[in-house]
Amino acid sequence: MTTLAGPGAASSVGSALDRVEGLEKVTGRAKYAYEYAPDDLVYAAPVQAGIARGEVRAVDADAALKLPGVIAAIWYGNAPRLAPAENAELSVLQSRRVAYRGQYVAVVVAETLENAVEAARLLRVDYDVEEHDVELRADHPGMYRPERVNPVYPADTEQGDPDAALAAAEVVVDEVYSTPAEHNNPMEPHATVAVWDGDGLTLYDSTQGATSVRDIVAPLFGLPPGNVRVVSPHVGGGFGSKGTPLSPVVLAALAAKHAGRPVKLAVTRSQMFSVIGYRTPTIQRIRLGADARGHLGVIVHDVFEQSSRIREFAEQTATPTRMMYAAPNRRTTHRLVRLDVPTPSWMRAPGEAPGMFALESALDELAFACGIDPIELRVRNEPETDPESGLPFSSRNLVACMREGARRFGWADRDPAPGVRLRDGLLVGTGVAASTYPVYRRPSKASATALADGTFTVRIAAMDIGTGARTALTQIAADTLGVPPGLVRVEIGDSALPDASLAGGSMGTASWGTAVVRACEALTGALRERDGQVPPDGVEVSADTAREIGGERRFAQHAFGAQFAEVGVDPATGETRVLRLLGVFAAGRIVNPKTARSQFVGGMTMGMSMALLEESVMDREFGDYLNHDLAQYHVAACADVRDVEAVWIEEDDPHLNPMGTKGIGEIGIVGTAAAVANAVHHATGVRVRDLPIRIDRLVR
């Protein structure tokens, strides 16, 4: 007989449970996509376009096919036909057109990886070259207003009379900020092993969403979703780049179909800079108008960014400006230009990360102009309700985060004068910025099973991309069932499991957790009806949150945070070091403090990297980003990370979901770059408005 103590009796949620798959990972038994090795496996080596715009005139595969072990060379001329895709990036090898340098134009399949790579090198592709245009400029004649920005927001908003308010303002900040293109580089690059069995396709794939890869890839091959299975129990990071299927997974499936053998395709580090999306560069003009005491009367945020010729991806850069601060007059705009570049895509906090760099830098400039402490300025401009929708916030603890951070960081004694503190030969300064990230939630399904041995299995096609999702769901299930987490086994990472939304938008725990809670509640009820008697084959129930999630929102829901940075700048060389970072977050209930801290600290580290290092440099003549490896695309290394601390304040918000959680995966990066840039200004008196904060931008 299985006796459930019932909800509330156990409290795994809130405890620092070790990752349930931790031992598997540290002993190397956890299998990642590239490690699957079905019989008859062969290797794919893609060929990338050597021009930025034009057409493939001819492909000569003779030399490639003569190499030993080469099985096939595939290009638009002989590739299997795919059904049209909504995302044209997925229509691989379907046309002669080349939309950007590095786009896949062919693939070679061979018995060994070495043979495949060598054959790909020998494949001769001739092009009709056309002139390319790869330069983002705010005054580009091709700028247009997209229908909406990612994922479904209006491109422009306007309230009041911003122009009149600017003209009448006592203090005006009017500055242009820019952020560069940035490329996602998760530790595990994208990889797929594609296996066909008749009309069935199995993809061992490194993805943030097994269900969505299945649903998007199946129709390309004319298959019902049920014929495709996506298996991804472990994923080594994604940060958005694996949030939606892109060309590599389709190329692997297509190559396997053509070759009649299982195919393994691993995106190389170099290819990560061409085919998996990136953060669009942005140019952002911010205008703030305030009275002398710093009360904002108007905020205008105009964004210019890019997309490719073949797909419109418009990042929602100005959306946080719509809800952060009170101001009766406000305008936000997004303009996009289509260039001969790869399609940008999601990268951790798309929109909020670059947008809040500009907005929070401008706030700091306004504080300086008004002679007001930057925290006090933000407190003075707290809105009572969401300035855009008028809805009440279900919880908004920005000010609490600022105050708590100020206390911990030692903000009270701060001398606001810039460029006056020399410590150990370094110019030292501190800066602050706000963070925010919206609360999203999507429908998912889950099943819960009571087994005769007194243990439980919960199944859901959720993804653990390194976040600790498997562990968090185990805790949530255990508490709902009222049993210790050791009795619960959570199975995730397989599209054969109940359909789930993707690991993206910081909504995994909220979306999957809701389905897990409902399934476990239903199981509790089913067991009660049977007086706890579990038959030999167990008791299984399932839940679907499609009806529960959706509907009209009664509250504005966002996570908030405050970022504090202390920097030291070498006055001779301009070298900047982040001496201290502190993030204070208000993100609902924290399910697991250990994995949550890791999420926050990881995001903050990525934000510091964004502030000082990350920059993909476009070569106008060549028509491509020049840096294609981590020697030239710099990311923060261990030595850069000195003192990074993340804490949170308890938030008890009953309007979110059964767990009371907000997302935590992305907010850590938001605001960090502004906090660093504001600290650099405080240290040196130099305001750097263009990321990253390079030496040449500091030393004049």
Binding mask 470-509 for ligand MOS (x = CB under 6 A): ----------------------------------xx----
Q: Does 588 bind ligand MOS (CB under 6 A)?
A: no
The encoded tokens of residue 628 equal 């294609």
Q: How far is the CB of 308 from ligand MOS (least distance, A)?
A: 18
Q: Does 348 bind ligand MOS (CB under 6 A)?
A: yes
Instruction: Pick from 347, 398, 472, 517 the residue near ligand MOS by CB under 6 A.
Output: 347
Q: Yes or no: say if 284 and 177 are a contact pair by the CB < 8 Å rule.
A: yes
d(CA 354, CA 348): 10
Q: How many residues sit close enough to ligand MOS to count as binding (CB under 6 A)? A: 12
Span 350-369, contacts to ligand MOS by CB under 6 A: 350
Q: Which of residues 180 and 504 has its CB atom nearest to ligand MOS in the complex?
A: 504
Q: Which of residues 150 and 524 has its CB atom nearest to ligand MOS in the complex?
A: 150
Rounded to a whole number of angstroms, the CA Rg of the chain reads 26
Stretch that binds ligand MOS, among 234-242, 427-435, 512-520, 638-646 (CB under 6 A): 234-242
Instruction: Pick from 346, 560, 633, 648 the residue near ligand MOS by CB under 6 A.
Output: 346
Q: Which of residues 289 and 504 has its CB atom nearest to ligand MOS in the complex?
A: 504
Q: Does 246 bind ligand MOS (CB under 6 A)?
A: no
Q: Which of residues 383 and 505 has its CB atom nearest to ligand MOS in the complex?
A: 505
Span 629-668, contacts to ligand MOS by CB under 6 A: 666
The CA-atom distances, in angstroms, between 445 and each of 2, 276, 489, 687 are 24, 28, 17, 49
Phi, psi for residue 420 in degrees, rounded to 5: -120, 0
- Specify whether the backbone of 534 is left (phi greater than 0), alpha (psi in -120 to 50) or beta: beta
Q: How far is the CB of 97 from ligand MOS (least distance, A)?
A: 28
Q: How far is the CB of 546 from ligand MOS (least distance, A)?
A: 21
d(CA 456, CA 478): 9
Q: How far is the CB of 241 from ligand MOS (least distance, A)?
A: 8
- Specify whether the backbone of 660 is left (phi greater than 0), alpha (psi in -120 to 50) or beta: left
Q: Does 243 bind ligand MOS (CB under 6 A)?
A: yes
Q: Which residues pair with 144 in a beta bridge?
A: 336
CB burial of residue 57 (10 Å; 0-12, 13-18, 19+): exposed
Q: Yes or no: say if 352 and 150 are a contact pair by the CB < 8 Å rule.
A: no
Q: Where are the beta strands (DSSP E) in 365-518?
A: 422-423, 426-438, 445-450, 456-459, 488-491
Q: Yes or no: say if 571 and 450 are a contact pair by the CB < 8 Å rule.
A: no
Q: Which of residues 262 and 351 has its CB atom nearest to ligand MOS in the complex?
A: 351
Binding mask 152-191 for ligand MOS (x = CB under 6 A): ----------------------------------------
Q: How far is the CB of 277 from ligand MOS (least distance, A)?
A: 10
Q: Cis (ω within 30 of 0) for the bond into 151?
A: yes
Q: Cis (ω within 30 of 0) for the bond into 692?
A: yes
Q: Which of residues 161 and 215 has its CB atom nearest to ligand MOS in the complex?
A: 215
Q: Which of residues 346 and 625 has its CB atom nearest to ligand MOS in the complex?
A: 346
666 tagged catalytic: yes
Phi, psi for residue 375 in degrees, rounded to 5: -70, -45
Span 108-147, contacts to ligand MOS by CB under 6 A: none
Q: Yes or no: say if 178 and 370 are a contact pair by the CB < 8 Å rule.
A: no
Q: Does 240 bind ligand MOS (CB under 6 A)?
A: yes
Q: What are the catalytic residues? A: 666
Contact positions toward ligand MOS, by CB under 6 A? Answer: 208, 238-240, 243, 346-348, 350, 504-505, 666
